[in-house]
Structure 1
């Protein structure tokens, strides 16, 4: 045989060679293609196929072998499929136990049970590696996989989350070989459970919507707009809609789906106040060529904040107006490439540097620094005076505020180490933003941090700062770094050689950012806020160094002022506040007591005048000095003492009505009555049939409107 098949005569061009295929005869009990199963193939890659069928010998020959467990294990265990081996079968058995649907070969249940087994294993490993279900990148892939598995559970009759119950089975099978599964089992299960709960809340509605959509289809194609509604409203990824459609012989208008998605993104982009800067084709080609010819910009920012440099290229304008120019006058925004630069281009969570270019007779302010193609550093700037030209010698100076950024960036490494120590090794970074004034750190964790956990993490970082550990940066091979247990940011792409930042015995991470030389340079550290970002992801905002000092000074100033106001010492403020809270509580209780007494004193109880309208007895009273709670007490008292069907009371601009159960059964509705009375007073109101409240802006108008309760009651439809 040959690989690719027919390569010598038909192509395609490229590496190819003869191929051997090894088959296993499973015996006469199997028929057709099921009897002889390919378990292994070997491609002897030795030719470079070129136009005209020329097979040129490759200078470096190799053997490409294809032998996987999915092929070999079923043969070794004498099973008809990989899913019935000990790698998957326990998961299938547990799913059968949960849903009560037996596994039948060549049946619908077989497909669903196999999908669930395969997908829950994939999700378990992905979450163990730090991926969290989300709407972007790897997180969206995992969300789609998990939801597809959940939907197949729905087909098997499962109406509540179940995948999280299969995670322990996956861990039991694979945990001895992949220790991180056991370490993070609780996190994996809880992440699955929460994601399932969110999906199951909309799954049934989405399935009903899909069924009604299919029933009304005039043809065999699901419109793209409808498929997008299933995604946008019910969380059905396109893959899931496509699969559900194919089960009924339908296809999806994917172009229409993509168009609807693009429209939504465009609407979101239009609402954003930040425009995305795009490099258009000709400029992009120029920069790519520049990178190929000259290589990457030499970054000098690890050693210095100021360096001489030469202007290599200038891209003037923005958006569609971008163009490469040889000189730049004031007033035009531009991106400038230097041969070397101390400016750090945004990456790894650290924002791009700001600063200034100076040259003889001119100056330009750099507002941002971004990564360009091929390692070029793009300085976003605008000339303030003079003219900037290509080949111009400039002095590139970074804003000294970057020193605060360095402190904050090293602090993010210490924060991650502290959180892993306080919360557990499941904590992994899922994002960050490092600026001179503060930094935020996003990480995987299922629950809000307690105040004590925040205090412990904060104390650990400050302890390591006080220890003044050396911060070293070392270049090494990626595999060597992994072997040493260095933490890498999930989703980042790394070359064969990487930069490791090691902070004493505390932290070791892959990082290309700028850092302090010793932890003591960080200064005081604070966690100023903690919140949930998305399912399974938390965010903290932190300060270090001078920003932390300024924050503490501000807090201390507030404390001193409060202590002065309350005639106590700062350290006694908690007790003083507690005393005030207890005093306020006692006063509120006394006010409520007086309100009740005032209400009872004004209502008259059994002697209150009772009116009649439309077959109902009702009482209307204008009271004084009561809030809504007091009015409710007054209405309750009148209703109990007078046995009227309806009581309407008002005080100031507030209005409350209450009715007996028997009156409600006869059609009385307090919400309708209060709504109409309040409307006549220029206000609004409403509520339940037995109790409602409302209000008006003008007390006099409300008092006048109260006189019309009888008319309103008589005019309401369905009453009497």
Structure 2
């Protein structure tokens, strides 16, 4: 509980029957939630479970608090104040409790496993990946299997919600999630696109609760297959160029930002993949140099920009529309349709 919240500490002692040594008073912002510099706010009570002495770690506030023995699985925010200014805080007229439980953490507790990645959902996805690759996870590769399972799930739900891979906005977020998993599939030795093969396992696990996965299974599968096919070409080319650019570098060295940007801008090899590939060799990337190279490229592009041609395009398409008529949008009802080309401009 927050260190000044005597009321919450008293209730935990009275209702839950906790002894004083099981109620830890924390004097940091970790136990005080705020919407921002102003607005509703209040102290928190975070609930932890002790998973046993066989796991390293200590309770909150101890030197070993970063260990995994004590797992936070629930958080209660007592929304009782309004921060009017930086200095002034008043009571809310109707205080409330904002409660949030970690569903997957609770599942790991109930199933008696030490990680959410060992719960039944993730275990079955990891088993499917192991079967497709031909070998299971070990101490060195378990992290890659977990990335694949986690990113398969998030990618599939995004596609089911109508997001498709692109180079901007939410589509770029999806592409980065997909490609990180695809990179780990390649590290595990998958010689062909892997992610699309795991979609049936995900649908079996979650399709009943989330019917949008069933409806979108074909689109998800084809999207993952196409994206990984394209990405493997980019990956092979990019890793080769990266190897050449860093052949004289050693552990502790830094790749210059201009080279990293060239890999990104010219060859389509994202910065996070460059970092990921070099991290295994303990080589970092000059992020300031990368950002500077990107800004220079943007400035150069602005200097030579003479208009996008939108006005001319609009003139052409308005004329075409008048002659050929409007195109009927069928995307809400179907994913495929036939059409006849009426004009070429």
TM-score (norm 2): 0.75
**Partner SS, residue 42 of structure 2:** strand
Aligned to 2:74: 40
Alignment of structure 1 residues 170-569 onto 2, 5 Å? 170-217=202-249, 220-274=253-307, 411=326, 415-417=328-330, 421=333, 424=334, 427=335, 453-454=338-339, 528=342
Counterparts of 1:249 and 1:50 in 2: how far apart (Å)? 47
**Partner SS, residue 132 of structure 1:** coil
Counterparts of 2:94 and 2:281 in 1: how far apart (Å)? 50
**Partner SS, residue 17 of structure 1:** strand
Tell whether 2:28 aligns with 1:6: yes
In structure 2, relative to structure 1, the CA distance for the partners of 1:529 and 1:114 (3 Å cut) is: farther
Contact in 2 for aligned 1:42/1:64 (Cα 8 Å): yes
Counterparts of 1:46 and 1:251 in 2: how far apart (Å)? 45
Counterparts of 2:236 and 2:308 in 1: how far apart (Å)? 39
**Partner SS, residue 72 of structure 2:** strand
Tell whether 2:97 aligns with 1:63: yes
Contact in 2 for aligned 1:227/1:257 (Cα 8 Å): yes
Of the three residues 17, 29, 43, the one matched with 2:42 is 17
Alignment of structure 1 residues 567-646 onto 2, 5 Å? none
Alignment of structure 1 residues 128-167 onto 2, 5 Å? 128-167=160-199
Distance apart, 1:42 and its partner CA: 0.4
**Partner SS, residue 528 of structure 1:** coil
Contact in 1 for aligned 2:132/2:197 (Cα 8 Å): no
**Partner SS, residue 200 of structure 1:** helix
In structure 2, relative to structure 1, the CA distance for the partners of 1:101 and 1:232 (3 Å cut) is: farther
Contact in 2 for aligned 1:159/1:200 (Cα 8 Å): no
In structure 2, relative to structure 1, the CA distance for the partners of 1:273 and 1:528 (3 Å cut) is: farther
Q: Deviations over 1:645-681 (max 9, x none)?
A: xxxxxxxxxxxxxxxxxxxxxxxxxxxxxxxxxxxxx
In structure 2, relative to structure 1, the CA distance for the partners of 1:270 and 1:130 (3 Å cut) is: farther
Distance apart, 1:185 and its partner CA: 1.3
Contact in 1 for aligned 2:257/2:286 (Cα 8 Å): yes
Counterparts of 1:57 and 1:149 in 2: how far apart (Å)? 47
Distance apart, 1:257 and its partner CA: 1.6
Distance apart, 1:223 and its partner CA: 1.2
Aligned to 1:88: 122
Contact in 1 for aligned 2:111/2:119 (Cα 8 Å): yes
Counterparts of 1:271 and 1:177 in 2: how far apart (Å)? 53
Counterparts of 1:87 and 1:274 in 2: how far apart (Å)? 51
Distance apart, 1:248 and its partner CA: 3.0
Distance apart, 1:49 and its partner CA: 4.7
In structure 2, relative to structure 1, the CA distance for the partners of 1:52 and 1:161 (3 Å cut) is: closer
Counterparts of 1:131 and 1:52 in 2: how far apart (Å)? 40
Aligned to 1:110: 142
Listed as ranges, the gaps of 5+ residues in structure 2 are 4-25, 58-66
Contact in 2 for aligned 1:199/1:235 (Cα 8 Å): no
Contact in 1 for aligned 2:234/2:269 (Cα 8 Å): no
Tell whether 2:108 aligns with 1:74: yes
Distance apart, 1:50 and its partner CA: 6.7
Q: Deviations over 1:246-280 (max 9, x none)?
A: 3333332222222322333444444543169xxxx
Query: Bigger radius of gyration, 1 or 2?
Result: 1
Aligned to 1:393: none
TM-score (norm 1): 0.38
In structure 2, relative to structure 1, the CA distance for the partners of 1:223 and 1:54 (3 Å cut) is: same
Contact in 1 for aligned 2:195/2:224 (Cα 8 Å): yes
Higher-strand-fraction structure: 1
Distance apart, 1:117 and its partner CA: 0.7
Alignment of structure 1 residues 655-666 onto 2, 5 Å? none
